[in-house]
């Protein structure tokens, strides 16, 4: 029966009698008000209106039974039915629609983010594989160049190198040293017993097992024979000598050739250089090499200096280390940096005279140059081995080959900054095969321990003794308060890469010059060079270091506290 038929039908007396006893039943099963969590469907609205009409008819029948039916009840039912139809014609709840739209937008945003994450992960995996291949090519190229150029005894086979770095056990009947570049233990492990030892009745004394320590020769990592710094006795290993060992240089034959490197545009330096060259030539019969600029200045002053030699091209500079026994610099630390940059391979000892402002690497006073040069030429004298960082730039465009240009060698630091860009520098840093961090800020400084008192110190890095083997990792104004400087071991290889999603390019400077642009995808590989710069010491390495930070930086300089209290 439809709603219209149910509304027009007059209730009969029999129906009234049947409905009266079950009034409580209909009231108990009547629909209760239900909250609407979602837009109601048409079917649910029809059912609710039907239930409401049935309840209204039941109430009307009860009222007619009691003789109290009125026209107001029928009018109310008609109004209720009209309101129901009007509600059916309306659109579902608008507030619920707004929530649905917002929810769908949120789901669309999440889908986009997940898609970007998947694409980024795939791109990162492809990029990591590409850089692994480039790094292997770079490593193979470096090993081949060392073997061909410097007659090094290291091998390209990584398995052979690994076997050299492991602990090996010598044969029990071996009498001599187990290897050319190691320390054998079997000669000192056996407990000594005075007099002849009968094999039959002498009690056997227990001893430690013998072993050998081996390293790569010719300085596979830092150009030094490390067995000089290790002592061995009764199976116990100690490196106590390394911390207090001063390095002395003693001439096996008198030096014959001296190279002068001078600070330009200084009249006092020009006069001193001419005086020192004349004295060395006349009193010591020393051959003199100077820069082309300096030779021209000397000949302009006096034709006497015609004996001074120089070079004409870069090929002669490459062979300069085979002719020069000693380098004399007249200037400041910048002059020492320039002298070191002329030598891509071995560097002769450097005697640096202080004619600059600070002078961390120039301990010799120019007023006493005759006495000081006498001591150096006669020897022995203390030297400081200052490590240099070797830097290779790898372009993203070089897919199948590495750069053929020579690496950059720095004595102080290599700096990667954002240049004129207004964006933060975005750099990914790897140490060997491990990810270190992502640098976001003004840039990054990779410094030697000799350069720890230069740009790295100004950026918040620590002061480090120049003979401490290490690499300083110092951020420049990082965008994080917890980004603190690091000191890494000397044997690691650092790779600084500009990611593809970087907003701008980066710029690399090597000891403040040779500025190179690093575009997204380019990388810079840094490691310790096998050729350090030996600088002569006025006293010794440690004394000169503390003198430089006291006099140059006025380190911890303050007035002493006054004592005005009672005395005992």
* Residues marked as catalytic: 333
- Rounded-to-10 torsion of CA 483, 486, 491, 492: 0
Q: Give just the sign of the alpha carbon dihedral 450, 392, 334, 457.
A: negative
Is residue 460 exposed (0-12), middle (13-18) or buried (19+ Cβ within 10 Å)?
A: middle
CA 22 to chain centre: 86
Residues 6+ apart with CB under 8 A from 314: none
- CA 149/CA 167 separation, integer angstroms: 30
CB neighbours of 185 closer than 8 A, spacing ≥ 6?
A: 170, 208, 210, 211, 212, 232, 235
How many C-beta atoms surround the C-beta of residue 456 within 10 A?
26
**Residues 523, 139: contact at Cβ < 8 Å?**
no
Q: How far apart are the first and last CA of the chain?
A: 119
CA 558 to CA 555: how far, in whole Å?
Answer: 9
Structure tokens, 467? 């003979």
Separation of CA 144 from chain center:
26
What are residue 403's phi and psi, to 5 degrees?
-65, 140
Question: Sign of the CA dihedral 191, 192, 193, 199?
Answer: positive
With H, G, I as helix, E, B as strand and everything else as coil, classify residue 250.
coil
- Distance (Å, whole) CA 227 – CA 80: 104
Q: What is the distance between the alpha carbons of residues 343 and 227, in angstroms, rounded to a whole number?
A: 27
What sign results for the dihedral spanned by CA atoms 212, 218, 221, 227?
Answer: positive
The DSSP bridge pattern shows strands 326-331 and 257-262 to be: parallel
434-447 and 413-417 beta bridge pairing:
antiparallel
Three-state SS letters, 309-320: ECCCCHHHHHCH
Report the alpha-carbon distance of residue 330 to residue 294 in Å, rounded.
Answer: 12
Token pair for 157: 């086979």
**DSSP state letter for 218:** T
């Amino acid at each position: 029966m439809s709603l219209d038929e149910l509304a027009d039908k007059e209730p009969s007396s029999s129906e009234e009698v049947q409905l009266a006893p079950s009034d409580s039943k209909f009231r108990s099963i009547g629909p209760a008000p239900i909250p609407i969590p979602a837009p109601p469907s048409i079917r649910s609205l029809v059912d609710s209106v039907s239930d409401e009409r049935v309840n209204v008819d039941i109430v009307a029948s009860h009222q007619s039974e009691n003789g109290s039916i009125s026209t107001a009840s029928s009018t109310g039912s008609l109004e209720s039915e009209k309101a129901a139809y009007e509600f059916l014609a309306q659109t579902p709840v608008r507030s619920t629609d707004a929530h649905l739209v917002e929810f769908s937008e949120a789901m669309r945003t999440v889908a986009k983010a997940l898609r970007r994450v998947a694409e980024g992960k795939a791109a990162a995996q492809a990029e990591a594989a590409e850089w692994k291949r480039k790094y292997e090519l770079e490593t193979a190229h470096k090993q081949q160049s060392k073997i061909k150029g410097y007659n090094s005894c290291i091998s390209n086979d990584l398995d052979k190198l690994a076997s050299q770095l492991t602990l090996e056990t010598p044969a029990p009947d071996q009498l001599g040293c187990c290897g050319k570049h190691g320390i054998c233990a079997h000669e000192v492990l056996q407990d000594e017993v005075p007099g002849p030892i009968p094999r039959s009745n002498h009690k056997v004394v227990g001893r430690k097992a013998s072993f050998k320590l081996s390293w790569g020769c010719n300085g596979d990592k830092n150009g030094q024979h490390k067995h000089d710094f290790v002592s061995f006795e009764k199976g116990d290993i100690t490196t106590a000598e390394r911390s207090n060992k001063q390095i002395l240089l003693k001439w096996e034959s008198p030096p014959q050739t001296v190279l002068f490197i001078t600070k330009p545009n200084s009249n006092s330096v020009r006069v001193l250089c001419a005086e020192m060259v004349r004295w060395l030539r006349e009193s010591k019969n020393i051959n003199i090499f100077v820069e082309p600029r300096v030779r021209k200045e000397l000949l302009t002053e006096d034709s006497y200096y015609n004996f001074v030699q120089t070079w004409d091209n870069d090929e002669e500079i490459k062979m300069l280390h085979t002719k020069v026994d000693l380098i004399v610099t007249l200037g400041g630390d910048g002059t020492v940096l320039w002298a070191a940059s002329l030598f891509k391979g071995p560097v002769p000892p450097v005697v640096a005279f202080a004619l600059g402002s600070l002078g961390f690497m120039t301990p010799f006073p120019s007023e006493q140059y005759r006495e000081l040069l006498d001591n150096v030429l006669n020897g022995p004298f203390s030297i400081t081995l200052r490590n240099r960082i070797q830097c290779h730039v790898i372009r993203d465009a070089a897919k199948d080959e590495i750069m053929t240009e020579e690496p950059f060698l720095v004595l102080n630091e290599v700096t990667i900054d954002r240049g004129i860009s207004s964006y933060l520098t975005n750099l990914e840093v790897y140490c060997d095969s491990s990810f270190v961090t992502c640098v976001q800020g003004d840039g990054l400084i990779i410094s030697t321990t000799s350069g720890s008192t230069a740009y790295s110190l100004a950026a918040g890095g620590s002061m480090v003794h120049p003979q401490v083997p290490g690499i300083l990792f110092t951020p420049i104004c990082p965008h994080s308060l917890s980004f603190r400087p690091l000191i890494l071991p000397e044997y690691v290889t650092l790779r600084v890469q500009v990611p593809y999603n970087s907003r701008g390019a980066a710029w690399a400077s090597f000891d403040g010059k040779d500025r190179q642009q690093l575009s997204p995808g380019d990388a810079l590989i840094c490691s310790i060079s096998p050729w350090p710069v030996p600088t002569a010491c006025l006293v010794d390495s440690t004394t000169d270091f503390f003198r430089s930070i006291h006099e140059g930086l006025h380190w911890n300089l303050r007035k002493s506290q006054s004592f005005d209290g009672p005395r005992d």
